[in-house]
Structure 1
Amino acid sequence: MSFSLESFQLGDIITGKIIKLEPTGVLVDFYTDQLAYVPLLELSLNEIQSPEEAVRLNEIREFMVVGNYDGKHDIFFSHCSPETLKDSDRLYEVALDLASEKSGHPINREDLLVHTKVLDVHRHGLSVRIYWFLCSQDHPPTVSFSIRKLEMRKAWERLRQLQAEDVTVYGKILNKTWSGALVKIEGLYGGIRSYVNKHKEQLVVGEKLPLKIIKVREEYNQLVLIHRSVSIRLRQLQVGQVVSGTIRGIKDYGVFVDIGDFYALLPTSKMFHPSVDNPNQFFKINDHLKATIVKLDPENGQVVLESYGSSA
């Protein structure tokens, strides 16, 4: 059972009493004129098979108010601020186009309710997530309630704190991906960036690794980690430093150099012969070389090199 959007604010935290446990969810008394049904999926951040694994009868719990929106879309608005965008004609024109395209017929402005969330403020504009609700007598905008979303919010807060405090976290590899591996930290899925890690091939499903958090972006549901040894090695490096390594990979766009604990990239544009069509003309696997660090990107675990002795 859903409730009118007018009765609640999206994102609010409200308390309710668990009145009845059912196989697929619970009935909750939010001290309104009707009980709310909260499905099993929304009772916990963990995977559960029954309500009893997450709540107890007559227990008072906190829930997050979540919107039953009809659509959402991320978009960049140039040359505006959060203040100028709010309730602007420009915002509604975009939302109307998106809603009309998704529904397959024109939507009038009076039939559309728009909520926005600013994802990022750039020098020349805003990255914004638009949520829209279609409003009519037969289709009023509604909200529902979730413990899972509340636990997710708290988990993201803990992850930001762990990142700020540079805490080592431990994650078990759930499966391997093209860029590394998937783990779960604080109940949330995260990716280990190990495409620069020379030990990528040695990752084993079920193995528990010491990790450092390098990116926490709740708005994009993005958690990125790297192996602690890679993090330590990155902090020992500086732009302008000369390093020695062994070539372990050759691509059209550059070569990957093993400089200890991970691979650094020497792109073709930073070679002595940047006009070369294929680095295979000059390099072979297991060749040793010296190079200068020209870029460090700890957030993505990347190091970019140029040929030793090259001019900037």
Structure 2
Amino acid sequence: MPRHRCKGWLHITIQNTIPALVRIRLNHDIPHPHYTDISIPEHVQNLIYECRRQTPGQIWDRILAENEGRTVEYTERQVYALWQHINEEVWWLDDDQVKSARMVLEAAQGKEVELIDVTMEKGIDVIAFALKDSVDEFGGEMAELAMDSTWKTNAAQYELYALVGEANGQALVMGFVCTVMTDGSAAKGAKERMLTETLRWFKKHCPNVRFTLTDKDWSEINALCSPYTLRTVFPNAKHQICYWHAIKYIEERLAENKPLAAYDPRKAHTVFKFIDPTWAPGVTRGDIKEYLDGRDVELDGNEQGGIRKRLTAQREVSNV
């Protein structure tokens, strides 16, 4: 209801002699408009029922188009609520939400989804499935595959993992995994093994994945690219952590007031040739004879300058 200056007054009078007696007087000089009925008209309810297999957004667009720009008193949220109620018969197949979800997926098996057979270990429950159209049409061309998760997605405390690929520069959902630790009896690594089995299914249908992406979840990282799964799941894929998590982790580490970990520049040089084998943090700042200390660059350098001679020689050679 619109608001305006109605020049209204609310008077409340209480007498000290009779405190239980209260006089209330309300008056409006300019009346307010009557309340508007915002319920969904019957003909629109019939339209929503007829279009119940469409999305709420598509139904709302049709309603606006049929009204030719005229304002309607009901909202898109009301349309969505009615659409959801009408479609309950499709997805609410049992009062147990997990059992209901399994029944919905089993009914769509082979038509809209592909259920992924995952070994059920003690103490963990899993529902894994792929979206059939996405996998069939784009799986063979998929070069990037990302995995992300959320938790406490429902009252049963299931975690939801989403697998998202890239197609023509746009994100494309490939499948989902719902899982929960049931009673605390799951063996160590159960979640990682479950994710690995799921990824092997996607590897079979997306054989050309060259890049994988996760956040800083070790179960996801290990399932995608640990030494035990990389060679069998995505042998040619380069793994990346999402930019936000990478920056967050770097900021946290830089903010910590901890001593540097043991660092041997010679070992680093064998892996990355561009690293100077004579440089180490806190060791070579200034005159090498003054600051070079073997205890800073190798765990067993018990003597002062334990490897000074060798590193000095390497530096002299590198400077030639």
Q: Shorter-chain TM-score category?
A: under 0.3
* Greater C-alpha radius of gyration: 2
By percentage of residues, which structure has more strand?
Answer: 1
By percentage of residues, which structure has more helix?
Answer: 2
Superposition TM-score, scaled by structure 2 size: 0.22
Superposition TM-score, scaled by structure 1 size: 0.22
Higher RCO (CA-CA < 8 Å; seq separation 6+): 1
